[in-house]
Amino acid sequence: MNVKTGIRIFFIFAAGYFLSYVFRGLNIGFAPFLSHELGLSAGDLGLLTSAYFASFALAQLPAGLALDTYGARKTEAALLLLAALGTVIYGMSTSMAGLLAGRFLIGIGVCVCLGAAFMAMAQNFPMSRLPMLNGLMVAIGGMGGVVVGTPLAGLLAHYSWQAISIGMAVFTLLIAALIWFGVVEPKRQAKTSLTLRQQIKGTRRILSHRVFWQLASLPSVAGGAFYAAQSLWVRPYMIEAQGMPAAQADGLVSLLGLTMVAGTVIMGLLARKIERMGLNLFWFAGLGMLVFLLTQLFAVMQWPVPAVVLWGVYGFFASSGILAYSLMAEVFPHHVVGRVTTAFNMVFFVCIFTMQIGVGYILDIWPQENGVYPAQAHIVAWVIMLGLQGLAALWYFWPSSRKVDAADFA
């Protein structure tokens, strides 16, 4: 594969992941309008937003089989058509049921955007470059987290949330066409000779493997807390628990998105250099996630740290968990990378779904005061999320072998 082809493949799949990231966080801007126009509560918003993550998680195992059978190009392009349909339904709905149906289809439609991208990178580039390339991939996708801050707020000042949803459907169709016509799969990515039963057996083996769960524990729980917050709850936390003006909160949502992007690039670039100094990928990623936990402790304790610094560091070190994808690609056999990635995605997004909907229901325990929830409600929710991350950290760092026998997946 020549350099030009590799760059084209990289940026096409990066565009797909960017799209999925924008879908993930749209409700952070739509929420005030949905609450006002449709009378949705915090619990309703949590359920609606997390429907994306629920369907995303449920689709991961069959999507992994599709990736290993049909390849990244065909699988992602086909599923994006469902995402386009889902966002049309979402934009045209006036009921909770319609919104849920649209959001559910969107989640299925973009469920392989990251897995397909990582699979394409693993098949087209040397393993030594995966931490850097995966970091860059997530960085470009992470710009979607920047878009749903101040830029989305600006769009909503001129266009309705319904019009923006329909515009997203058009953009989705364009990305699907770009993937279908612009990506050439490598010859070695021919259709697998394994039967469906053998592939399902391999997937079950992944999900029953101790090493998989140890490596997935902290990245999925910490990542679940971050994305549950970034895609919905961090803005209300800033406004209602920390007393910020809405404009400042919008700016900080964009900032933490930018620093997350910077973190994925810098962490990916540093990973191999740090490994040559004696700190392997497992420990490098783990220590970064511990710093992420510490920033959340600072936030809930209301320690006197400048907001720009606190939320910038929060976003930067949230990217540490992304290194788990590269770590799993090293540990598990190459022919199950698609299924390992999607199995990890399933666990990851179940955590996002659980935390996002859980925060909404925790907030609803407290009565609203002048249309907002008391600071105590937000702080309790964040403390619970932080405690779950602490338990996951114990599991991640628990001393044990992290070797996988390739013969287990023959």
Q: Residue 383: its pLDDT value, please?
A: 97
Mutual angle of helices 210-228 and 281-300, in 10-degree steps? 30
Whether 97 and 389 have beta carbons less than 8 Å apart is answered as no
Mean pLDDT of 134-156: 83
> How far apart are alpha carbons 267 and 132 in whole angstroms?
8
Q: Smallest Cα–Cα separation from 359: which of 251, 247, 252, 227?
A: 227
CA distance 385 to 378: 11
- Token pair listed for 203: 């997937």
DSSP 301-336: TT-S--HHHHHHHHHHHHGGGGHHHHHHHHHS-GGG
Distance CA 119, CA 163 (A): 34
Statement: residue 248 has pLDDT above 50? yes
pLDDT tens, position by position, 304-351 = 999 999 999 999 999 999 888 888 888 888 777 777 877 888 899 889
pLDDT digits (tens, 9 = 90+) for 158-183: 999 999 999 999 999 999 999 999 88
CATH architecture of residue range(s) 3-184+194-397: Up-down Bundle (1.20)
Nearest to 348 by CA among 20, 2, 13, 3: 20
60 vs 44: CA distance, rounded Å = 25
The per-residue pLDDT for 393 is 97
Q: pTM here?
A: 0.75
Spatial separation of the C-alpha atoms in residues 90 and 69, rounded to whole Å: 31
Phi, psi angles (nearest 5°) of residue 58: -65, -30
Q: What is the C-alpha to C-alpha distance for residues 145 and 140, in angstroms, rounded to an integer?
A: 10
pLDDT band at 196 (very low <50, low <70, confident <90, very high): low
- DSSP type of residue 159: S
Mind listing the pLDDT tens digit for each residue in 356-384?
A: 899 999 999 999 888 789 999 999 999 99
Residue 189 has pLDDT above 70, yes or no: no
Q: What is the pLDDT of residues 3-42, one digit of tens each?
A: 777 888 899 999 999 999 899 888 888 988 988 899 888 8
Q: Residue 352: in which H helix or E strand, if any? A: helix 337-363
User: What would the mean pLDDT of 57-62 be, rounded to a whole number?
Assistant: 85
How many alpha carbons fall within 13 Å on the CB side of residue 175? 26
